[in-house]
Amino acid sequence: MYFASIRIITEDVARAVGFYERVTGLVAKRSTDDFAEIITPSGTLALASTRTVQGLGAQAPRPAANQSVIVEFRVTDVDREYEKVKKFGDVEIVNGPTTQPWGNRSLLFKDPDGNLVNFFAPVTPDAVRRYEQQDH
């Protein structure tokens, strides 16, 4: 089994796509006005409108209601990404660059729907080894 993607349901796909293109530097693949994907070498972030889940009725995901998931991107240099994200001026920084006890340097901020986004990089020898093993 391979992890393929995570999908964020939003009321405003264009706004969400613009945000993720800006912070990742990647260009989204737009399939329709209701669906786009930010494709990375290791997985995909899908962005979809509420119209794509209407058939689920009361069980449909609610946009801007995430209280349990953090969208994470492994980056090369967290501090450099922090300087870039700060310059946007409209991104809510939750926690500036911090080295976590498990060995990752981390930057937490929110997307336009309030979802937490983590840019992280392994920085301790154990963390670096852990990710090197995953890459092979």
Rounded (5°) CA angle 94-99-105: 80
Q: What average pLDDT score do residues 64-70 get? A: 89
Sequence letter at residue 44 = T
73 and 135 share one domain: yes
DSSP 48: E
Determine what percent of the chain is predicted with pLDDT higher than 70.
99
Alpha carbon separation from 47 to 10, 57, 71, 135 (Å, rounded) = 7, 19, 12, 26
Higher pLDDT, 134 or 125: 125
136 and 70 share one domain: yes
Residue 122 CB neighbour total at 10 angstroms? 19
Whether 111 maps to a domain, the answer reads yes
Residue 1 CB neighbour total at 10 angstroms? 3
How does residue 76 score in pLDDT terms, banded at 50, 70 and 90?
Answer: very high
In this structure, the strands spanning 93-99 and 5-10 are unpaired
2 and 25 share one domain: yes
Given a cut of 90, whether residue 72 has pLDDT beyond it is yes
23 and 82 share one domain: no
Determine what percent of the chain is predicted with pLDDT higher than 90.
81
Which residues constitute the domain of residue 70?
A: 66-136
Residue appearing with tokens 């969208």: 71
Q: CATH code at 30?
A: 3.30.720.120
Q: What is the per-residue pLDDT across 44-64, written as a single tens digit (0 to 9) for each?
A: 999 999 999 988 988 888 888
How does residue 136 score in pLDDT terms, banded at 50, 70 and 90?
Answer: low
Given a cut of 90, whether residue 98 has pLDDT beyond it is yes
Whether 70 maps to a domain, the answer reads yes
How does residue 132 score in pLDDT terms, banded at 50, 70 and 90?
Answer: confident
43 CB-near residues (< 8 Å, 6+ apart)? 3, 4, 5, 6
Task: List the 116-122 sheet strands across, edge first.
Answer: 70-74, 116-122, 104-110, 93-99
Q: What is the per-residue pLDDT across 4-26, written as a single tens digit (0 to 9) for each?
A: 999 999 999 999 999 999 999 99
